[in-house]
């Protein structure tokens, strides 16, 4: 019988069922419920087939199930084309193949399908936990392959798993070489996930309650690693969006063109907008941002947001041709951020912008609805007159008003009506950062002072071990920027006047009395930052995850070229290619030498050498011992075909069995004596 047509051993079937369970387990939360039902039915049916209770499914049943799977996928996803629908169909096919397999050839096909299906999990997550689970699954798949090749061992899971693990470990050096040196070529097409179309983080429009809702989440927004000192916490204002248009309730971007492009996920590089300055095509207005004072250099790894805007400290500079500087001096990506993305920034925090404000920009940042919020307009005029019509005095007048009046910073602001600024300033006096920033900018514009609202994040958790800042959604913040003559745009944070601890210590300290920090996530590890042991474990784990993302997941073409330049002293491709080829050949050569050394002929013990001499003597009498023939079986053949030799052959065989398989029952002297007797008996044979 050909090997491929042999029956699947019991141990092999157990390994295959275990493999299939591990492969599809992480997919279950994303797959339709009917796929889970199919998985359970296929596993039970396969077991019943092995126990000879049920027969293999008929052809019409398989056709019916495949058709139902296609219809179910179409009904659930609305298509059978695409990544998620394709994964669902692939998993279903994988399940059905296990059900219909009949011989070793089918089993090998299931194993190879397992290697392919397990990779699909990385399309959804590449975290350390998922990667560790996938590595364990890979070990089990390889062990299943070993189990199919060693049916004579029976079901010995640890022994089989150990052999599979050895095979995987042996491949790791080559895997590392390939990871480091194979060219990192960008894909020919982009793959979008339907479930990731939901935008996250700071949105393109801001109303007073939006930031408060976002601050209830402990989700990660981004991490920033500094190449030098980390700025003081009160300077960590991460700018994301600049809002210049106010309709009475909501703030939006001043440029309708950029706002519409963001909603349509347009490639911003194709807009040819004069409001965008690209590193390879800089705009003249970029000179309006001075680059003076201390510069902070840092790398940001941002989580997927499905948005164009990026986050940076004030006055950013970037050299990536896929990232542009907007006219309001913030960064945007050419394409929406659909996956973790790393970018490098330099920020000049002491710099000034637009000391001489263009007329059109001044008009844009003085815009207000013609009607609404009458009491706030009156308040602004009173403050403006009492401040001597000085911009600096007017700003201080409003901040003093926020400090002295009973204003409260809260994550649970009341709902506001049509005249939202009036209701906040005069009636409720309770709000989150967006309430204060919105009201402040409104008061500025009413007095004829250009101002705008900025949305982003403030602060973050500093991990000193990794010298990086970890910013989460509850760090979301809104503040104001006011144009001051001869100084340009100046950041003013009215929230700091009401709750200075929000800027100095973070949200948790600002709402400590209210007790609303992550109230909807009682089991979040971030609620236990006051427990030193738990907090230290969390920080160490997050540092490990960050390094994994930074050095492994973000190892792209630019990082590879930088590595080559550091290792090989330049980008001489001849040196690089020969070094890579030489390293790989050296590794393969070492592996080959190790395999040859492992397979070298082993020195046989004296008893085995004596028994081989006995077998050669028997060959002269026409008795050739088979390779896998046991000694007593060979002795039985000798007695049958050469009765005259049976007595001496029996002595040799019994002595050999004792010396080889019962050595513990003999003393060293007895072992030596019986070996002499065996040699004497062999010599007496002619």
Residue range 594-634, pLDDT digits in tens:
778 877 666 668 888 898 899 998 888 888 888 778 888 88
Q: What angle do CA 120, 123, 126 make, to 5 degrees?
A: 110
Do 111 and 20 lie in a common domain? yes
Question: Are 665 and 579 found together in one domain?
Answer: no
CA-closest candidate to residue 311, choices 99, 471, 525, 464: 471
Nearest CA-CA partner of 216 in 582, 507, 550, 545? 507
In a domain, 641, yes or no: yes
Contact 85, 79 (CB under 8 A): yes
Residue that terminates a domain, selected from 181, 210, 243:
181
- How far from chain centre, in Å, is Cα 553? 7
Token readout for 220 is 């990660």
Closest CA to 524 of 433, 587, 461, 596: 461
The total number of structural domains that make up the chain = 3
Over residues 230-235, the mean pLDDT reads: 92
CA triplet 7, 9, 13: central angle to 5 degrees? 110
Range of the domain at 46: 3-181
Q: What is the mean pLDDT of residues 465-473?
A: 88
DSSP state of 327: T
Both tokens assigned to 237? 């204002």
Sign of the dihedral through C-alpha 594, 597, 599, 605: negative
In the predicted structure, residue 573 carries a pLDDT above the cut 70: no
Element (H, E) at 314: none
Shared-domain flag, residues 49 and 166:
yes
- Would you say residue 196 has pLDDT above 50? no
72's CB contacts (< 8 A; 6+ apart) are 32, 34, 35
Distance CA 126, CA 135 (A): 12
In 3D space, the residue among 182, 179, 302 whose CA is nearest the CA of residue 238 turns out to be 302
pLDDT tens profile 264-306: 556 887 878 888 999 988 888 888 888 888 999 999 999 988 8
674 & 578 share domain: no
Alpha-carbon distance 221 to 199, whole Å? 12
Residue 195 banded pLDDT, cuts 50, 70, 90: very low
- 172 with 68, same domain: the answer is yes
Express each pLDDT in 534-546 by its tens digit: 878 888 888 888 8
Q: State the pLDDT at residue 583.
A: 75
pTM: 0.72
Helix (H) or strand (E) segment spanning residue 511: none
What pLDDT score was predicted for residue 106? 85
Question: If we measure between CA atoms, which residue out of 371, 425, 419 comes closest to residue 398?
Answer: 425
What CA–CA distance (Å, rounded) separates 632 from 175?
48
Would you say residue 656 lies in a domain?
A: yes
pLDDT score of 63: 87
Q: Per the domain annotation, does 480 fall within a domain?
A: no
Kindly report the number of other CB atoms within 10 A of residue 234's CB atom: 13
Distance CA 164, CA 112 (A): 15
Which residues fall within 8 angstroms of residue 138, CB to CB, at 6 or more apart? 115, 118, 168
Residues 589 and 618 in one domain: no
Token pair for 27 = 């997919």
Q: How confident is the model at residue 513 (pLDDT cuts 50, 70, 90)?
A: low
Does residue 136 share a domain with residue 20? yes
My answer on whether 78 and 162 are in the same domain is yes
| Angle ∠(73,76,78) on CA atoms, nearest 5 | 85
| Model confidence pLDDT, tens digit, residues 30-48 | 888 888 888 888 888 888 8
Binned at pLDDT 50, 70 and 90, residue 519 comes out as low
Question: Are both 568 and 676 inside the same structural domain?
Answer: no
Catalytic positions, please?
433, 477, 493
Query: Tokens at residue 275, please?
Result: 């409001």
**Last residue within a domain, chosen from 181, 196, 213:** 181
Residue 564 falls within a domain, yes or no? yes
Kindly indicate the confidence band of residue 484, based on its pLDDT and cuts at 50, 70 and 90.
Answer: very high
Residues 116 and 60 in one domain: yes
Let me know: does 678 contact 610? Beta carbons within 8 Å: yes
Same domain, 561 and 672: no
- Residue 98 in domain: yes
Q: End of a domain among 162, 181, 200? A: 181
Residue 224 makes CB contacts below 8 A (sequence gap 6+) with 298, 299, 300, 301, 460, 468, 469, 471
Q: How far is CA 341 from the centre of its chain?
A: 11
561 lies in the same domain as 680: no
Q: What is the percent of the chain with per-residue pLDDT over 90, rounded to a whole number?
A: 25
Q: Which of 243, 275, 234, 472 is nearest to 358 (CA)?
A: 275
Q: Is residue 109 part of a domain?
A: yes
Q: How far apart are CA 309 and CA 313, in angstroms?
A: 13
Question: Angle at the Cα of 12 (from 6 to 18), degrees rounded to 5?
Answer: 145
234 assigned to some structural domain: no
d(CA 224, CA 230): 10
Per the CB < 8 A criterion, the answer to whether 640 and 632 are in contact is no
**Residue located via tokens 């491949």:** 171
Domain assignment of residue 122, yes or no:
yes
In this structure, are strands 430-431 and 408-409 parallel, antiparallel, or unpaired?
parallel
Q: By percentage, how much of the chain surpasses pLDDT 70?
A: 90
């Amino acid at each position: 019988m050909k090997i491929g047509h042999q029956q699947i051993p019991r141990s092999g079937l157990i390994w295959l069922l275990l493999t299939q369970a591990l492969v599809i387990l992480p997919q279950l939360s994303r797959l339709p419920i009917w796929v889970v039902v199919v998985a359970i039915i296929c596993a039970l049916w396969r077991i019943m087939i092995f126990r000879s209770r049920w027969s293999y499914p008929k052809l019409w049943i398989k056709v019916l199930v495949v058709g139902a799977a296609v219809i179910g996928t179409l009904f659930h996803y609305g298509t059978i084309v695409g990544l998620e629908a394709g994964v669902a169909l692939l998993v279903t096919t994988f399940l059905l193949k296990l059900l219909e397999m009949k011989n070793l050839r089918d089993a090998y096909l299931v194993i190879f399908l397992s290697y392919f299906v397990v990779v699909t999990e990385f399309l959804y997550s590449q975290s350390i936990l998922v990667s560790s689970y996938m590595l364990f699954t890979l070990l089990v798949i390889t062990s299943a392959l070993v189990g199919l090749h060693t049916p004579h061992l029976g079901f010995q899971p640890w022994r089989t798993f150990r052999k599979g693990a050895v095979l995987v470990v042996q491949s790791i050096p080559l895997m590392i070489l390939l990871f480091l040196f194979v060219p990192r070529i960008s894909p020919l097409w982009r793959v979008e996930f339907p479930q990731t179309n939901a935008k996250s983080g700071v949105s393109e429009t801001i109303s007073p309650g939006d930031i408060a809702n976002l601050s209830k989440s402990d989700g990660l927004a981004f991490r920033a690693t500094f190449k030098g000192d980390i700025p003081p916490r009160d300077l960590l204002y991460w700018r994301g969006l600049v809002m210049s248009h106010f309709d009475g309730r909501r703030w939006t971007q001043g440029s309708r063109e950029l706002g519409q492009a963001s909603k349509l996920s347009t490639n911003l590089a194709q807009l040819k907008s004069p409001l965008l300055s690209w590193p390879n095509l800089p705009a003249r207005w970029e000179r309006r941002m001075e680059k003076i004072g201390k510069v902070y250099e840092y790398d940001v790894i941002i989580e997927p947001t499905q948005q164009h805007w990026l986050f940076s400290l004030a006055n950013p500079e970037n050299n990536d041709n896929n990232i542009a500087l907007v006219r309001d001096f913030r960064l945007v990506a050419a394409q929406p951020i659909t996956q973790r993305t790393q970018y490098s920034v330099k920020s000049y925090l002491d710099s000034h912008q637009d000391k001489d404000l263009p007329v059109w920009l001044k008009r844009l940042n003085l815009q207000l609805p013609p009607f609404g919020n009458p009491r706030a307009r009156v308040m602004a005029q009173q403050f403006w007159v009492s401040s001597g019509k000085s911009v600096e005095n007017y700003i201080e007048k409003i901040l003093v008003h926020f400090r002295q009046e009973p204003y409260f910073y809260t994550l649970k602001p009341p709902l506001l009506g049509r005249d939202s600024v009036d209701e906040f300033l005069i009636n409720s006096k309770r709000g989150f950062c967006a309430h204060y920033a919105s009201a402040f900018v409104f008061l500025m514009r009413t007095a004829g002072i250009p101002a705008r609202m900025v949305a982003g994040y403030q602060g973050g958790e500093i991990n000193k071990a990794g010298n990086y800042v970890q910013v989460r959604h509850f760090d979301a913040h809104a503040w104001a920027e006011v144009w001051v003559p001869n100084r340009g745009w100046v950041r003013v944070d009215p929230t700091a006047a009401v709750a200075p601890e929000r800027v100095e210590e973070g949200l948790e300290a600002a709402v400590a009395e209210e007790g609303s920090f992550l109230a909807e996530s009682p089991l979040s590890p971030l609620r236990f930052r006051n427990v030193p042991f738990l907090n230290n474990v969390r920080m160490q784990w997050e540092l490990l995850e960050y390094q994994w993302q930074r050095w492994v997941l973000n190892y792209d073409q630019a990082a590879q070229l930088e590595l080559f330049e550091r290792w090989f002293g330049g980008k001489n491709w001849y040196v690089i290619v020969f070094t890579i080829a030489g390293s790989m050949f050296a590794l393969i050569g070492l592996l080959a030498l190790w395999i040859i050394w492992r397979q070298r002929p082993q020195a046989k013990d004296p008893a085995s050498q004596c028994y081989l001499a006995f077998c050669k003597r028997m060959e002269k009498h026409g008795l050739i011992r088979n390779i896998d023939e046991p000694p007593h079986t060979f002795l039985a053949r000798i007695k049958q075909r050469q009765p005259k030799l049976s007595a001496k052959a029996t002595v040799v065989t019994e002595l050999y069995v004792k010396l080889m398989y019962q050595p513990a029952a003999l003393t060293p002297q007895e072992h030596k004596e019986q070996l002499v007797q065996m040699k004497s008996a062999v010599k007496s044979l002619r």
